[in-house]
Amino acid sequence: EAGVAQSPRYKIIEKRQSVAFWCNPISGHATLYWYQQILGQGPKLLIQFQNNGVVDDSQLPKDRFSAERLKGVDSTLKIQPAKLEDSAVYLCASSLEFNPNYGYTFGSGTRLTVV
Amino acid sequence: GQNIDQPTEMTATEGAIVQINCTYQTSGFNGLFWYQQHAGEAPTFLSYNVLDGLEEKGRFSSFLSRSKGYSYLLLKELQMKDSASYLCAVDRNSGYALNFGKGTSLLVTP
């Protein structure tokens, strides 16, 4: 099966600009996650969707970050306006039903640099 | 609060055994994961423990003690390709939304 697709792979923007990332999960996967990974740290969950509903967005900085998952398939994560500290890799992951043998699958990520 | 601790760096020799420890204090617990992450790549799943004890998968094993808030990942017969970051993560809400530690960077030397 195809993996989790993310685009763009890299993005460089100036602070105060806006940026959007796109994620296409594995077909049929109901649950989708966005993580932020700052260099040298582990991933931090930003938001979790179940179909098109939000399950957990407690760590999403809602003053500047927003995410949606229309129709319960693709998802977009937006930052507006960006700050220097938003420089990170943004990882998308998806799962159907949890299988202890597989965990869930991450996409390759979008590396954002804010200058 | 959520607190997941791992050593920052470890070095081991090719062919040897290494144990990477993880301690956690979280407000909920529904299982512990280990992921491997090579530089510039996405994390890949290694193991999952929800009950106390040892889970073995080939060269990799993972142990969990829920009462102690402790886990370790054991890597045997180390290979150069095992040089990577190893991430310990706790599932705190049964929806598999994970809290990750900062990761342990393992360097395997000849």
pLDDT at residue B74 in the model: 98
Q: Minimal Cα–Cα distance from A20 to chain B, Å?
A: 19
Of the candidates A86, A99, A2, the one whose C-alpha atom is nearest the C-alpha of residue A38 is A86
Task: Using only the alpha carbons of chain B, give its radius of gyration.
Answer: 13
Number of other residues whose CB lies within 10 A of the CB of residue B37: 20
Number of other residues whose CB lies within 10 A of the CB of residue B51: 8
pLDDT at residue A104 in the model: 81
pLDDT at residue A1 in the model: 62
Report the C-alpha gap between B23 and B57 in whole angstroms. 21
Instruction: State mean pLDDT over B37-44.
Output: 92
Instruction: State mean pLDDT over B19-40.
Output: 92
Report the C-alpha gap between B16 and A109 in whole angstroms. 32
DSSP code, position A86: G
Q: Which of A40, A45, A108 is closest, CB to CB, to B97? A: A45
Is residue B1 pLDDT above 60, yes or no?
A: no
pLDDT at residue B95 in the model: 72
**B54-61 own/partner pairs: CB under 8 Å, 24+ apart:** B60/B34
Q: Minimal Cα–Cα distance from B13 to chain A, Å?
A: 23
More confident site: A100 or A65: A65
> Are the beta carbons of B50 and A95 separated by less than 8 Å?
no
B→A contacts (Cβ < 8 Å), by residue, are 4, 33, 35, 41-45, 48, 50, 87, 89, 93, 95-103
Contacts of B44 in chain A (CB under 8 A): 106
Q: Minimal Cα–Cα distance from A8 to chain B, Å?
A: 15
Q: What is the pLDDT of residues B51-106, one digit of tens each?
A: 999 999 899 999 999 999 999 999 999 999 999 999 999 987 767 788 999 999 99
Beta strands in B1-110 (DSSP E): 3-5, 9-13, 18-25, 32-37, 44-49, 53-57, 60-65, 70-75, 84-91, 98-100, 104-109
